[in-house]
A and B are shown apart, each in its own frame.
Chain A
């Protein structure tokens, strides 16, 4: 399970990896990249950075350590900015990236033995609470009944969202998508 460490793979909502787009940024966009809004946005950001870093590379300045990681983090942050969820707050508006929340919730679900989290989407409702949908794979022939494992997942996910982040959870739907052995 990949957590969102700066150097880990980052998969766009269209399932393409950011690293692959970075690899291909010098070539002309393929059929998918021409139409996909996520790939287009990522390519544009990467192109801006490539030009900026090229310009800097020509100047006699030592290249900072871990530049590629920081470029990826910056591009990720710009993509994340598109989908934000409001967080309840007392002083001035606070919001949080949906993808950042999803990573934490998947991580919480993964902590239940015999459960692997798959996709997680979080939507804000009009009341300011959120609706979570999480798909999972369960271990086939696990020791605990599926019913009990799902209840445990729901508890941990809701706890991570409410106590760990500070969101209010309106509903938490679990989708049993797969079994593994």
Chain B
């Protein structure tokens, strides 16, 4: 995650790093009902392991794997990769993620409402073996 978002306010400027936006978005998305986890893929896992190593060395950083933030000026677009549960409608979970991420980012940063896109990479079904009659 690189770059930053700028907001002009009463002559002064606020700069918010994309990594901050990503962490806020990741937290909001992961806590949306129906979301099993964020899925950062191989890059995310490597990140996660590096963070784990960093934690042992005393560095603490908030997780943001599975979230991609692009900002240009005050316009921010956020992409979230998720795994959802099978018991809720996948499209509804995605819509809820879009809403909670956008709301959380606005509340935490004061940026204009971002555009949030969502990719559902997996649906976790309950582990029930179908009965062969």
Which residues does A use to contact B, with CB under 8 Å?
1, 3-5, 45, 48-49, 52-53, 56, 59-61, 64, 70-71, 73-78, 80-81, 84, 87-97, 100-101, 103-104, 107, 110-111, 113-114, 116, 139, 163-167
Q: How far is the CA of A101 from the CA of B49 in the complex (A)?
A: 29
Query: What are 9 contact pairs spanning A and B, CB under 8 A?
Result: A4-B125, A74-B45, A76-B122, A89-B118, A92-B115, A94-B91, A95-B119, A103-B123, A163-B89
B59 interfacial contact with A, CB 8 Å:
no
Q: How far is the CB of B42 from chain A (nearest CB, A)?
A: 5
Tell me the residues in window 82-124 of chain B with beta carbons closer than 8 Å to chain A beta carbons. 83, 86, 89-92, 94-95, 98-99, 102, 115-124
User: B118 to A52, Cβ gap below 8 A?
Assistant: no
> In the complex, which residues of chain B have a beta carbon less than 8 angstroms from the beta carbon of A75?
41-42
Inter-chain CB contacts under 8 Å: number: 138
User: B89 to A166, Cβ gap below 8 A?
Assistant: yes
Pick the contact of B45 from A49, A91, A167 — CB < 8 Å?
A: A49
User: A107 to B130, Cβ gap below 8 A?
Assistant: yes
Pick the contact of A49 from B42, B81, B90, B99 — CB < 8 Å?
A: B42
Pick the contact of B125 from A64, A107, A114, A167 — CB < 8 Å?
A: A107
Which residues does B use to contact A, with CB under 8 Å?
39-42, 44-46, 49-50, 52-53, 56, 81, 83, 86, 89-92, 94-95, 98-99, 102, 115-125, 127-133
User: B121 to A93, Cβ gap below 8 A?
Assistant: no
> In the complex, which residues of chain B have a beta carbon less than 8 angstroms from the beta carbon of A110?
130
> In the complex, which residues of chain A have a beta carbon less than 8 angstroms from the beta carbon of B131?
113
User: A97 to B133, Cβ gap below 8 A?
Assistant: no
> In the complex, which residues of chain B have a beta carbon less than 8 angstroms from the beta carbon of A95?
118-120
Closest 6 CB pairs of A and B: A166-B91, A113-B133, A96-B120, A74-B45, A78-B41, A110-B130
Q: How far is the CA of A76 from the CA of B44 in the complex (A)?
A: 13
User: B123 to A100, Cβ gap below 8 A?
Assistant: yes
Q: How far is the CA of A104 from the CA of B130 in the complex (A)?
A: 13
- Using A74-B44, A81-B41 as known contacts, say yes or no to A92 and B116 having CB atoms under 8 A apart: yes
- Using A94-B120, A110-B130, A165-B90 as known contacts, say yes or no to A48 and B53 having CB atoms under 8 A apart: no
- Smallest CB gap from A62: residue in B: B56
User: A92 to B46, Cβ gap below 8 A?
Assistant: no
User: A74 to B124, Cβ gap below 8 A?
Assistant: no
User: A114 to B91, Cβ gap below 8 A?
Assistant: no
Q: How far is the CB of B78 from chain A (nearest CB, A)?
A: 9
Q: How far is the CA of A71 from the CA of B125 in the complex (A)?
A: 20
Q: How far is the CB of A154 from chain B (nearest CB, A)?
A: 18
Q: How far is the CA of A92 from the CA of B128 in the complex (A)?
A: 34
User: B42 to A166, Cβ gap below 8 A?
Assistant: no
